[in-house]
Amino acid sequence: MSEGFTNRLSDRAVLRLCYDWDSWAREDQRPPLDPWSTWMLMGGRGCGKTRAGAEWVRGAIEGRASYALAPSGHVALVGETFADAREVMVEGVSGLRRTAPPWNQPRYEATRKRLVWENGAVAQLFSAEDPESLRGPQFDAAWCDEIGKWRYGEDAFDQLAFGLRLGQQPRCVVTTTPRATPLVKRLIADPTCVVSHATSHANRAYLADGFLEGLERTYGGSRLYRQEVAGELIADRTDSLWQRDTIDSTRLAAPPPLQRVVVAVDPPASSHAKSNACGIVACGAIADGQFAVLADETCQAARPEEWARRAIDLFHEVRADLIIAEANQGGDMVRSVLEQASRDVPVKLVHAKRGKWLRAEPVAYLYAQGRVHHVGAFAALEDEMLDFGPEGLSAPGKSPDRLDALVWAITELMGTGDLPPRLRSI
């Protein structure tokens, strides 16, 4: 759009133009022309997915022709958690309030967890962590964000679908980074779902200088880069020790009684921005040789006192019996850091004498037997597991820190034996 053109416009017209999304949006950010009930926009980080979702909600509430047959008045906003829905979908840089024009600014009612527009339209916030909260309400439009990370993806989406029953044409927009979860694959196969794709590069003009170049240098060519930047839906590695179906088939919503619980720590050698992460994973032993993955509190670029405190906090949160810490990168320093954080927590140091693949094989075998259960979903940990092949992760030089911690925890619990189960609150 030329400067000469805008100079001929009045201030009011320029302001209107600034908020005319259809004048600025890319083709993949506009609602599809084909008939659809669900529109899924999959793309890389920073590609403009959130802005497209927010603008679609605004267009539907205003009743614009390409967005809705009639103005929407009852909208569901479903994020991975309630905090995500509020901080990203509502208050974020590309969220509903930040992108709304001054003449149609919605009012956020924090106590009722909803947005209200001057025309009476209401958008209610929901957390995908609580699928049952979607049972009962009814809507004529919905926006779901980052469904690839939803812990109870299909349950939450199904409950939402039952409530999409108002208006002439109830529709749902989904914005997500691609992950080959059952829900994402189900929607792709649904003939009433139209899928749009975008790469991070498509939105280069609005990203920080050097951001994409930095990702290219660090992750270029890897599966992680293809998923998070190129916006590709990546199939499981055929040479990986784990497959997604194996993990999904034994997933639990809540932990059963546990015999023993440990927190495993895989500390990094340093704590600067480019250091490996500190893997921190909690697991528990169930009766009959079964195991549960309870939490992943892995942290990046954390100082020793920071990762030690996080491990100690998790120890108390899951009422663990022991902290397992790999000592290859720090020896007794690892024990010292943990004891400085809390002297009342038992710590056992372990040393890696074999390669990561060989140490992980017995644990992967337990998964193949259906004996390891993830309590909920751990997106980053599971992505790492699915990307772990004989030569490590696909990103050159990247360490599987979450996976290492998981392997140490399960390996320790494999020697638990037939201890009686104890009741714990997780």
Give the pLDDT score at 418.
47
Please state the pTM of the whole predicted model: 0.73
pLDDT of residue 109 exceeding 90: yes
Q: Which structural domains are found in the chain, ordered by start?
A: 3-228 (3.40.50.300), 244-413 (3.30.420.240)
In the predicted model, what is the mean pLDDT of residues 263-281?
A: 81
What is the arrangement of strands in the sheet containing 141-145, beginning at the earlier edge strand? 107-109, 114-116, 122-127, 74-79, 141-145, 171-176, 38-43, 193-198
pLDDT band at 282 (very low <50, low <70, confident <90, very high): very high
Mean pLDDT score across all residues of the chain: 89
Distance CA 32, CA 39 (A): 8
Q: What is the reported pLDDT for 391? A: 84
Q: How far apart are CA 399 and CA 387, in angstroms?
A: 11
Give residue for tokens 């998964």. 367
Please answer whether residues 405 and 350 qualify as being in contact, where contact means their C-beta atoms are separated by less than 8 angstroms.
no
The tens digit of pLDDT for each residue in 126-150 reads 999 999 999 999 999 999 999 999 9
pLDDT tens for residues 202-226? 999 999 999 999 888 877 777 788 8
More confident residue, 383 or 332: 383
Helix axes 379-386, 401-413, angle to 10 degrees: 90
pLDDT category at 4 given cuts 50, 70, 90 is low
Q: Evaluate if residue 421 carries a pLDDT over 60.
A: no
